[in-house]
Structure 1
Amino acid sequence: MDTYLISRAVAEVGECLRVQKHFLATAESCTGGLLASTLTDTPGSSEWFAGSVVAYSNAVKNKLLGVPDETLEQHGAVSEPVVLAMARGVLETIGADVSVAVSGIAGPSGGTPEKPVGTVWIAWAWPGGSRAKRYNFQGTRDQVKSQTVMAAINGLLGVTK
């Protein structure tokens, strides 16, 4: 990860949230807390970062984020409906104004022809709206996780402005 670019992007997201008096929450699966860690590396992040749920298992996605079992069974954890439900669920669970959720296959195993290693869904949500995007990252497990964090933060730039 290019730490300079990431820190600038996080600072910009944070400033937008701070000015609007909004708080951000994250729901993470494949990044395992890396996104929250990256966000909170920024001094002053307590003014705009509310918290995170690391929902690695489907049971946690269901119990803490309200992702319906039927949605998980029908679409799988790495899917648009699940990541949108995660983003909406963490808004409610944490009581934030904006959220970002990630779910993917970081590898090196676990991929399928339909969802190869590097497939990641990211969703952003806010009261009254949400959007999601599928990514196909390349590289090692760490590289997929880093690319996911950067894409999630870049997406926040569009949501918070």
Structure 2
Amino acid sequence: MITPSDLDRRAATVSHELQKRNLKLICAESCTAGLISATLSRVPGASEWLCGSAVVYRFDTKVNWLGVEREKLDDPGPVSSIVAEQMAAGVLLKTPEACLALSITGDFGPVAPAETDGIAWVGIAERTEQGSGIALFSQRLELQDETTEGEGILRHRRHTEAVYRTLGLLLEHLN
């Protein structure tokens, strides 16, 4: 099980890597409701490299704040690679000082459709060296689906695992 100390260590490593590269990060979070940026903000000095986070739970918020295409939210749906990429690109375009964006969209239950229950997509958008374009990357996460302690505990564990693994993907991308 992932502990708060595990999250803090991973956030500190992200901080170190971003500072080493002089990069500023912006986040767009749906299923984690700001938990990624909250975890990162516990690192002293985070305001030097963390620009903020857009929490975009609802379709209209994704469309209006980030420019996600409504048609993509309908098909293939909000838990998809294209939506994760559009969220990352959209928040990056709205944040000129950032050069890197991290997004997550998923469904952690308990009333999720079977095909998306415990699934998240992480998006990363990065300004190209020329500054005129954006490079996109996305990765599917399949999160823990077993507990005997109830749905609330499962949802909490999925949130924690999603933050930990998303920050891990960001580190992989940076290296």
TM-score bucket of the superposed structures, by smaller chain: over 0.9
Give the aligned partner of residue 121 of structure 1: 121
1:48 deviates by: 0.6
Tell me the amino acid that sits aligned with residue 22 of structure 1. Answer: L
1:106 equivalent among 99, 103, 108? 108
Tell me the amino acid that sits aligned with residue 149 of structure 1. Answer: V
Measured in 2, the distance between the counterparts of 1:28 and 1:35 equals 8
Query: Counterparts in 2 of 1:2-41, with a 5 A limit?
Result: 2-41=3-42
The more displaced of 16-25 and 52-61 is: 16-25
Give the aligned partner of residue 150 of structure 2: none
Measured in 2, the distance between the counterparts of 1:156 and 1:124 equals 8
Measured in 2, the distance between the counterparts of 1:20 and 1:41 equals 20
1:71 deviates by: 1.3
Tell me the amino acid that sits aligned with residue 157 of structure 2. Answer: Q
1:20 deviates by: 2.1
Query: Counterparts in 2 of 1:1-150, with a 5 A limit?
Result: 1-95=2-96, 96-112=98-114, 114-115=115-116, 117-127=117-127, 128-139=134-145, 140-150=154-164
Deviations 1:98-143 (A, max 9, x none): 111111111111223x22x201111111113121111111241111
Measured in 2, the distance between the counterparts of 1:50 and 1:159 equals 19
Unaligned runs of 5+ in 2: 128-133, 146-153
Name the SS of the counterpart of 1:122 in structure 2: strand
Measured in 1, the distance between the counterparts of 2:121 and 2:113 equals 14
Tell me the amino acid that sits aligned with residue 110 of structure 1. Answer: A
Measured in 1, the distance between the counterparts of 2:59 and 2:110 equals 20
Give the aligned partner of residue 155 of structure 1: 169
> Normalising to structure 2: TM-score of the pair?
0.86
Q: What's the C-alpha RMSD, in Å, of the aligned pairs?
A: 1.3
Larger radius of gyration: 2
Measured in 2, the distance between the counterparts of 1:59 and 1:131 equals 24
> Normalising to structure 1: TM-score of the pair?
0.93
Aligned identity (percent) is: 33
* Count of residues paired in the alignment: 159
1:31 deviates by: 0.5
Name the SS of the counterpart of 1:109 in structure 2: coil
Deviations 1:54-82 (A, max 9, x none): 00001010011110111112211111110
